Structure 1
Amino acid sequence: MTDTTTQDALRDLYTDWSALMAANPEMPIRLFRSIFDEWHQPTVEPEDVTYREETVGGVPGIWCLPTGADEAQVLLFTHGGGFSVGSASSHRKLAGHVAKTLGAASFVLDYRRAPEHQHPAQVEDGVAVFDALVASGRQPQDITTIGDSAGGNLAITIALSLKERGKPAPGQVIAFSPWVDMENKGETLKTNNETDALITPELLAGMITGVLGDTIDPATPLANPLYADFDGFPRLYMNAGSAEALVDNATRIEERARAAGVDVTLSVVEGQQHVFPFLAGRSAVADQELARIKDWYAQGR
């Protein structure tokens, strides 16, 4: 199977979702969430990984436990989905692949979702899980916040919130295709409009309304880290696909963090779609990206 064919598995899923959303503009949130719970489909089930449901710090989620992993090392994984869709179930296979590659355990949060729960509920849930992991005996530097899309935003803003509260930070932060621009101003929304199979300004606008409502400023730093102070932020790894509309969300965070002296690594992979690591186990490109993250992660240990 060629890599072009394997990428089709993700692009085709996004194309199908886009057609369903276009045909059902008033789609109920329950159906919207059901569709996005298909996100795991392009991901091959990782071998030698078991799963356990648990509530940590008052937040339900799924532990991904690779055989032989160092469970003192924890990936605090916040799923994508515009803060309103996606779940621990839709992301457990991806989180399992990352945990297995890094030799760590991963806890995928089922954080409170919009529109029922607006910002900062999602950040607060992440902080609560982090605090509970530390209370259980894990060292803060052994916890990595990680997430994709809106969850990539949360991986960053959970670390920012901990800093704001004067608490120890996670050792490292990893963000796949982070969606951070709550003002919907990115240039690649326009330039990559024809190549991104899922993201549109209209889709993002609806999700922004859901999580921020009418009262929260879209320039609030813990909602939009393009406005955050990155002084003292942990080392940061981000990736994105060159074909996706959100690629300049990652490049702008890179610029802002680097200007504050943060150790930043950004991997923009040619021709890939939004959150292309969902192709883990199916695509050599995705597996090579996880291998790069493994090398980066080991350097911080």
Structure 2
Amino acid sequence: MSREQRAKIDAMLRGHQAEGPRSVEEIRTGFAAMMATMAVPEDIRTTHTELGGRRTLLVEPTTPAPVGADDAAGTILYFHGGSFVFGSPETALSLTGNLVARTGLRAFSVDYRLAPEHPFPAAIEDTLAAYRALLDDGVDPARLVLAGDSAGGGLTVTTLLAARSAGLPLPAAILAFSPGVDSTRTGESLETRAAADPIFTRAALEHTGAMYLAGQDPRQELLSPALFADLTGFPPMLIQVGGNEILLDDSTRLAARARDAGVDVTLDVTADVPHVFQVYADILDEADQALDRAALFLTQQLGG
């Protein structure tokens, strides 16, 4: 394990921690500036398009697909992180770019509506509309995977819950980086990992969480699927999470719930790394290794 690399990232993140709550604009601007410094692979290209009425960033490998290949063997529908309040397809480009470069798949990254302007369930309405649009465009669900980080990792689950309720076919797999899947904030890791987490505090999560909830009861499957969702019939899932996250128990409880529902689930916990550590590709060995495992999972689930 790369102790020096991890220590450097931990110190950097602690230096970005704000004292007290920040305005929505300050949160969004600060996050965008930080994510703009993350490494993005050179062998990808991006195009602006739309899915389900929402702006969407299409990320593709620059190497052409073999003659006769169908959409470079598959499609990733990606949902960015940001506590449902901040973030965009651009802030997630290091993640989508690395998945595309490592798999040869194309990725659609959706710019779903954000709170507080658009609280729950706006984000799920938008991600479901994007999923439906891909199906309507003829994308085979067996050649489609959902992926996301943080809040977007949670959206991979809640979007499929909504899709199942709408009678839509489910995709081939789910990939979730540090998913946020418990709006009740009852996981023990909120306390046991508080000192280790260089990014989040309970107060910060409750600050942005209240914007998304807008008074709704968090004790329901679309807000806390790790506690209340029936995951029966879900496709194979890979959940990757860092050992230094106060949201660690979101992942462990989601994995346990999936297992109990008979879902093929892999819980991949990397010690001593922070929330969505995969963004530190090229500067953290564990990030590159986790992305390699994620890419292998996706290609295996698509039969590649």
**Range of TM-score over shorter length:** over 0.9
Moved more, 135-144 or 152-161: 135-144
Name the count of aligned residue pairs: 295
1:130 Cα offset (Å): 0.8
Give the whole-Å Cα distance in 1 for the aligned partners of 2:247 and 2:120: 21
Distance 1:96 1:11, change over 3 A: same
Stretches of structure 1 lacking an aligned partner (at least 5 in a row): none
Identify if the C-alpha distance between structure 1 residues 125 and 8 changes in structure 2 by more than 3 Å, giving closer, same or farther.
farther
C-alpha separation between the residues in 1 aligned to 2:39 and 2:7? Answer: 14
Paired amino acid for 2:24 = I
After superposing the two structures, state which structure 1 stretch, 34-43 or 275-284, moved more.
Answer: 34-43
Shift of 1:57: 1.5
Q: Is the 8 A contact 1:51 1:63 kept in 2?
A: yes
Which residue does the alignment assign to 1:142? 143
- The residue type paired with residue 224 of structure 1 is S
Question: Pairwise mapping of residues 128-167 of structure 1 onto structure 2 (< 5 A)?
Answer: 128-167=129-168
Percent same amino acid among aligned pairs? 35
Separation of aligned partners in 2, 1:16 and 1:41: 17
Other-structure match for 1:173: 174
- Please identify, of 217-226 and 34-43, the stretch whose mean Cα deviation from structure 2 is larger: 34-43
Equivalent AA in structure 2 for residue 4 of structure 1: R
How far off is 1:133 after superposition?
A: 1.1
> How far does residue 51 in structure 1 lie from its aligned partner after superposition?
0.9
The Cα of 1:63 is off from its aligned counterpart by 1.3
What's the secondary structure of 2:6's corresponding residue? helix
Match of 1:33 in 2: 28
Deviation readout 1:244-265 (Å, 9 max, x if unpaired): 1111110000110100000001
Q: Distance in 2 between matches of 1:133 and 1:165?
A: 15
Question: 1:182 aligned to 2:183?
Answer: yes
| Letter of the structure 2 residue corresponding to residue 108 of structure 1 | S
Contact 1:61 1:107 in 2 (8 A): yes
Give the root-mean-square deviation of aligned CA atoms: 1.7
Which residue pairs with 2:13 in the alignment? 14
Change beyond 3 A, Cα 1:9–1:161: farther
| Partners of 1:42 and 1:236 in 2: CA distance | 29
Partner deviation per Cα, 1:47-102 (whole Å, 9 max, x = no partner): 21111111221011211111235445111111111100111111112210011112
1:120 Cα offset (Å): 1.0
Counting only pairs closer than 5 Å after superposition, residues 1-301 of structure 1 correspond to structure 2 as 3-8=2-7, 10-18=9-17, 21-22=18-19, 25=21, 27-41=22-36, 43-68=38-63, 70-71=71-72, 73-214=74-215, 216-226=216-226, 227-301=228-302
The one-letter code matched in structure 2 to 1:96 is G
- Mapped partners of 2:206, 2:173: distance in 1: 30
Q: Which runs of 5+ in 2 are unaligned?
A: 66-70
Task: Give the corresponding residue for 2:68.
Answer: none
Deviation at 1:43, TM superposition (A): 2.7
Q: Tell me the amino acid that sits aligned with residue 171 of structure 1.
A: A
CA distance in 1: counterparts of 2:143 and 2:12, whole angstroms:
35
TM-score normalized by structure 2? 0.92
